[in-house]
Chains A and B, each alone.
Chain A
């Protein structure tokens, strides 16, 4: 049996729409400095950090090998540094695997993205589509989401009001989270009347352009005590890839999320997702995703995501206490920030938005258009 892995600390820059005063190196460095301050960890190759798992993207950074710009900032001086180029929750998982395998004892995870640096994030995600059939159609992650939002609405019958309530909840929670980007309260009327961005997605249904960095320190069960007395254990994990062409996929089926969720639950020894989690962090880049991903995670029944939103569960503060992706994290860091909030909650350090007595949390990360690649992580204290 592999060693258990604990998250010993998290650090995040605040998330804002344009961190113009800092290069991404500076953003990363600040989070690493915070980790050092919190834990006293050092870079001794025998006892401290000898491997770093980063997360960033060449296209968003406009740099071939985006991690070579941050090797010094993350302390990758004559030691391992490996970059995951997908949602950063996968970076946590790979760091966990490094420890479970026995290869490393202590691993630093650092992710960064500056969406503001791009002319348009949609121009970047347009490049994820094949250059023969889909790219010239103008598809990007936003338009992929719009097609999925339509498919999901037709299948589940989710209403404009229910979608609006997802946004209202995000802002209400984000208002209590000093790190969140979009913290201004909105009403159902404002959301319903906000301009159409990409039919049926309205402007307020979409996550704001965001910049930020997140770091985490992971350690083996026989090492964590040197860094924290409040470990958060990674107990469940999986990810899964759906097919590529939208015509090959059932966009409203949650295929990859259901598979990832089932495997993560199995690993954590949880039989039913319903009622299993004190804290739920869903990677809702667009309002419909709060409902649709909740179904995929098994938190509510098929096609009942809309009703779930109105069931009163959002008022408990347990669903996306960070404000969720709707409150604004950059692409690549959605799941990483979800997991970071889960850790903060399980450490009891969430301040005004703390979920009392939180024991077990689930965090989700998404990569690609319309949730093509999904990842689910279960954390416990």
Chain B
């Protein structure tokens, strides 16, 4: 799929996130968002008066607030500004960064702030997710986001011991990353010598998907400020350029065109398109960091293969050989990932934000200990939807022919 020339370049110039927790009872929704907004403005070194437009997103049925951007305007700073609200499920956070990218590139607005949030304490997360299924055909079968299918698939392909060990090793690695991130919701202080114990004793949710494998439900918000090239260069010492993004949605399992069991996984499809049109032939070589939307360790493990277009057991080896650790050759989720922090409407935006912080070298204790020039960030949601971003430190890439 060919890439079109961007009307103008777009950079991330400000990032702000809240402290994430299972219960942010100290703040209401607009107050929580305001924390992220204030921090993003401070980070960018601009005032709210410099922001031309806002893009807001989350999922309404988690908190049962209809069009919450209307109420949240008292915390977002959207008063008197152009405001958009775009939502696509778990992908929302990445979608709104894409909306910001497109709106700034279009020339309609020079500086746009995107805001993703969720306050899952105020609703019932698994109930909310179950409610996405078709009420006639699928709702009685849906178990929220919990599925043991990927665990079963991986076990069938690579054998139970190796598969379970790799998934748990990835879990421990990301917990170690989360312990370095002061914003992370959960870190348990896990270590690799607990793998055998956890493989057996962590409570089972569905099949071999165990409690320790599954992401949290968090309260939190993130704000990211995007600017056009001209303004980004003026305002920011360290703009992070959005080189390209791609969105790949697909229909529900039951769809009017029937079921194709051999259908390509959306993550694979998105990565193939994005890498292809940007001339990236070896993503493992090219990217210095990958912030993946990993709702469970089984998915995180399996999706390494899909995103990186790997064959055979390469993805297992990457985990077994610690290539995905913060000190490894292909660091995955130095922030700790979704498995540690998951305010759903913000989650995918946090992937982009954390990837951008790595490019800037501003990630603090969880900064990768080498230069980060090229970053990959993914969003996941809906009925297996993908949004994938490429971020760059320098405006020097060659467009693919």
Contacts from A to B (Cβ < 8 Å): 1-3, 25, 29, 45-46, 50-51, 57-59, 62-65, 67-69, 71-73, 76-86, 90, 94, 96-105, 124-125, 127-132, 237-245, 248, 255-256, 259-260, 263, 367-369, 372-373
Contact = CB atoms under 8 A, between A and B. Distances in A.
B252 A244 contact: no
A71 B70 contact: no
Contacts of B381: 65
Given A2-B106, A78-B269, A241 B86 contact: no
Interface in B201-219: none
A82 B106 contact: no
B108 A237 contact: yes
Interface stretch (B57-65, B169-177, B178-186): B57-65
Interface residues of B, number: 70
B129 A64 contact: yes
Contacts of B84: 84, 86, 90, 94, 239
A241 B48 CA distance: 14
B9 to A, nearest CB: 11
Interface centre among A59, A68, A69, A80 (most CB of B within 10 A): A68
Interface in B234-252: 246-252
A64 B64 contact: no
A373 B99 CA distance: 19
Contacts of A84: 84-86
A68 B89 contact: yes
The prevalent SS among residues of B at the interface is mixed
B297 interface: no
Interface of B: 1-2, 4-7, 28, 54, 57, 59-62, 64-74, 78-89, 95, 98-99, 101-108, 128-129, 131-132, 134-135, 246-252, 255-257, 264, 266, 269, 381-383, 385
B71 A244 contact: yes
B7 A128 contact: no
A2 B7 contact: yes
B178 to A, nearest CB: 27
Contacts of A243: 73-74, 79
Given A67-B382, A128-B65, A372-B70, A59 B60 contact: yes
Given A2-B107, A244-B70, A100 B264 contact: no
Which 8 A-B residue pairs are closest in the complex by CB-CB distance?
Answer: A101-B105, A100-B106, A72-B251, A65-B89, A80-B247, A127-B66, A72-B255, A97-B106
A369 B66 CA distance: 11
A77 B71 contact: no
Contact of A373 (B65, B83, B249, B269): B83
Contacts of B81: 240-241
28 contacts: A45-B1, A51-B247, A58-B60, A64-B132, A77-B257, A79-B249, A81-B249, A82-B95, A82-B99, A85-B60, A86-B85, A98-B102, A100-B108, A101-B7, A102-B4, A103-B102, A103-B105, A104-B4, A127-B65, A130-B28, A239-B83, A241-B54, A241-B80, A244-B72, A256-B80, A367-B67, A368-B70, A372-B70
A29 B251 CA distance: 13
